[in-house]
Structures are given as structure tokens and as C-alpha cells.
Structure 1
Amino acid sequence: MNAEHQALLAFERLRQQAFICADIDALDVMLASDLIHIHSTGMVHDKAQLLAHLRKMGGFVSIDRDALRIRLEGDIAVLTGDTRNTVRSLQTGKVMVRHGFSTQVLRRTLAGWEIILSQLTPYNS
């Protein structure tokens, strides 16, 4: 594994931790201003909406990812793989596991990597 792939895996681990802890400051840096985030439910958020949503929900319970596939094309990276997001329902407090195929598209900037697209497509059970 080369240094760029290792850096992307480290970035992904930081993203997961920020989602679990609802670290809005860290996510504000990691998420692009033109972010499109598509939840497993099909709900679509821009950056401001996603940060407000995470602030309200207080973060994820856990995020478990299988081995990531990383495709690097210049200043664009695509990270894909199976993901299990454990979340708590805002309405009921019930803990739910969202299992699906996750795709993140990142853009390299002078400040580092930022996420421009994130999507979790659930598997049918």
C-alpha cells in the first residue's frame, strides 16, 4: 500500500470518529462546502444540513467498515466498500444498523482532502 492510500485510510478513520463523536469542527474541515450527502434512507443533505443533523442526533453509535477499495485519479479519490452504521433514531431512540455499500468521493485541495460526495446504499434484507 502506498503513502497516498495510507493517508486516505487515516482520513477515513478520522471521518468515522468525527461522525461517532459528532465533532462538528472536525467535520466542517473534512466536508467540502459543495458536499452532497445521501443517507441510507435516501434523504439528501448539503453540508450545512448534514452538520445540523449530526448536531441534533449527537453522533453515530458506531461505524464499521470492511476493507476499502481506493481508486485514485489525480486529485480525486473514490473510496468504496461495505459499511455498517449503527445509529439512534431521533424520533424513538431505537438503535438501528444501516448496512450497505458506501461510496465517498474526495477532492484534494491545498489544505488536504475533503469529501464532496458521500452515499450509503442499503442492501435489501
Structure 2
Amino acid sequence: MANGYPEGSKRAQGDWHERRAERFLLDRGLILITRNFQCKLGEIDLIMRTGHTLVFIEVRYRKHRHFGGAAASVTPAKQQRLRRAALSYLQVKGLNESSQSCRFDLVACDGDDINWIPNAF
């Protein structure tokens, strides 16, 4: 068991890095709203709040920075799925994008490094 998660289990690794990112953001003053929001349009790893802004957070992990690392793995198609899932979340909560300030952040975990990118896309 390296880094606290079982080797060979991608889901366990993903969960471990999502919790790590969550702790990182909580330490920086964000407030957790929900984890792993799922709808037919996609999944949002973390939804948090800072002030009056809802923050939809994608957590990406790559063991190495080869091929651009974790940040480069968020393709335009993935960004579109996240936007659609966020709109679904807002609708479920009776909110809309014109009345609720929102942003999309990325937490890129490359090996042991964490890089938080507010307003990533």
C-alpha cells in the first residue's frame, strides 16, 4: 500500500487524491458542499463554496508529468461534460447560472505535487 491506497486500484487512487484535494481546499477556506455529484451528463468530483461563489472542481491525478501531466488531461470534451453536469446540479438545486456565481477549478495532482488552478476553464 503506497501513498495510503491499494496499488492497482484506480478507483481507490482516484478517491484518495480527491480526498487529498478536498483537504487541501478546506485548508484554504473553501467549504464543502458535496462530493461526486453524478447525473446522466457526467460527474463533478467536488462542489465547494467560497463566499457567494459555487466552485465546481475537477481533480486529476497523473503519476508523472509525462505528456503534459494532470492539467493537460482535461480535454475540451471533458470540460464540456463538466459544464453540462454543473448546469444539471444548478437545475436540481433550483438555481441558475445568471443568479448564482460559479466557476470551474482544477486540482492537478502530479505525483506528490498539488497544483490548484482557480477558474481553470
TM-score by length of 1: 0.32
- Relative to total residues, which structure has the larger helix share, 1 or 2? 2
